[in-house]
């Protein structure tokens, strides 16, 4: 007769995800927040232009752009700050905020040097745009994944395309010479969440997505579009309707 106390139990008939249903839910993650460089800084920043760098070429270019003034950082609590240098570095896992004076206009730069999970994209977009920064216009530089692009692309291909909010299309486009992202292709992640946030808040915004695998070529392309962004070339015709709806936004 088997001893029920010492014999091995029979294998579970539940799948691992079924067993997880009985586990207590994980505590919610703390909300992202902006830490200002000076204690007396204004709670809400209202720049004429907010430039957000997510893609590697744009991060390199904005990091070396000068002169610029560090005004704060967007803190994601689950990203450890240990190992970051005292002075801003491209090796840091951080999102620093910089201010640039360009004539009579104020420009704010945001460099996302860490990857963001799909569950956190919306909370970050909400923290950055609308709560702490209310810009007149937004330009986002991101990259596209080959799996999300409709059509065949190789590592030798190089292109930059755009998506826009409805309000951006109604006026003169900021980056008029860029082609629109093709129908059937999608953008996901933080760039999509930021563009969706701008659409909800009726802000003029452009999402520039690039397919650039060579670093030198990437810097040249990003530099060209960032210079045009700072120059505010606002002549030309609008893109046709519905373009921004091709964005696929992650959860969170």
Does any domain span residue 182?
A: yes
Q: What percentage of residues in the chain have a pLDDT greater than 70? A: 65
Phi, psi (rounded to 5 degrees) for 95: -135, 90
pLDDT at 242 over 60: no
- Residue 212's pLDDT band, with cuts at 50, 70 and 90, is low
- For residue range 88-101, what is the model confidence (pLDDT) as tens digits? 888 888 999 999 98
Return the pLDDT at 209: 86
Find the range with the poorest average confidence among 4-13, 109-118, 203-212, 218-227.
Answer: 218-227
Does any domain span residue 12?
A: no
Does any domain span residue 4?
A: no
Does any domain span residue 35?
A: no
CA 6 to chain CA centroid, nearest Å:
56
pLDDT at 71 over 90: yes
pLDDT at 202 over 90: yes
Q: Where are the beta strands (DSSP E) in 144-217?
A: 159-164, 179-180, 204-211
Does any domain span residue 13?
A: no
Quote the mean pLDDT of the chain.
76
92 vs 11, residue with greater confidence: 92
Which residues contact residue 242 at a Cβ distance below 8 angstroms, ignoring those fewer than 6 apart? Answer: none
- For residue range 94-131, what is the model confidence (pLDDT) as tens digits? 999 999 987 778 999 999 999 899 899 999 999 999 98
Does any domain span residue 29?
A: no
Highest mean pLDDT among 139-148, 166-175, 241-250: 166-175
Asked whether the beta carbons of 206 and 136 are under 8 A apart, the reply is no
Return the pLDDT at 90: 84
Q: What is the CATH number of the domain that holds 194?
A: 3.40.50.10900
Return the pLDDT at 248: 35
Which residues contact residue 245 at a Cβ distance below 8 angstroms, ignoring those fewer than 6 apart? Answer: none
Asked whether the beta carbons of 166 and 217 are under 8 A apart, the reply is no
Return the pLDDT at 127: 94
> What does the pLDDT average to over 51-76?
90
Rounded Cα distance between 28 and 119, Å, is 11
- Beta-sheet pairing, 95-102 with 204-211: unpaired
12 vs 169, residue with greater confidence: 169
Domain span including residue 167: 41-84+97-246
Asked whether the beta carbons of 134 and 44 are under 8 A apart, the reply is yes
Return the pLDDT at 155: 54
- State how many domains the chain has: 1
Does any domain span residue 109?
A: yes
Return the pLDDT at 120: 93
Does any domain span residue 124?
A: yes
Kindly list the strands in the beta sheet with 69-75, ordered across the sheet, starting from the edge strand earlier in the chain.
33-36, 69-75, 95-102, 105-112, 49-53, 137-143, 204-211, 159-164, 179-180
């Amino acid at each position: 007769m088997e001893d029920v106390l010492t014999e091995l139990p029979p294998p579970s008939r539940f799948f691992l995800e079924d067993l997880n249903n009985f586990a207590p839910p994980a505590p919610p993650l703390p909300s992202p927040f902006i830490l200002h460089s000076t204690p007396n800084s204004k709670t809400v920043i209202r720049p004429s232009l907010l430039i957000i760098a997510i893609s590697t070429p744009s991060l390199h270019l904005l990091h070396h752009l000068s002169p610029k003034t560090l005004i704060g950082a967007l803190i994601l609590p689950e990203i450890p700050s240990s190992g970051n240098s005292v002075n801003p570095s491209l090796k840091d896992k951080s999102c620093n905020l910089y201010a640039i004076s360009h004539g009579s206009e104020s420009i704010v730069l945001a460099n996302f040097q860490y990857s963001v999970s799909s569950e956190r994209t919306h909370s970050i977009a909400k923290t950055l745009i609308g709560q702490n920064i209310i810009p007149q216009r937004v330009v986002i530089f991101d990259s596209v994944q080959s799996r999300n692009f409709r059509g065949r692309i190789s590592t030798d291909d190089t292109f930059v395309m755009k998506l826009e909010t409805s309000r951006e299309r109604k006026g003169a486009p900021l980056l008029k010479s860029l082609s629109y992202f093709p129908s059937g292709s999608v953008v996901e992640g933080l760039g999509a969440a930021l563009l969706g946030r701008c659409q909800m808040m009726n802000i003029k915004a452009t999402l520039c997505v690039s397919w650039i695998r060579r670093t030198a070529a990437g810097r040249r392309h990003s530099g060209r579009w960032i210079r045009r962004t700072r120059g505010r070339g606002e002549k030309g015709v609008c893109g046709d309707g519905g373009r921004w709806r091709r964005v696929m936004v992650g959860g969170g």
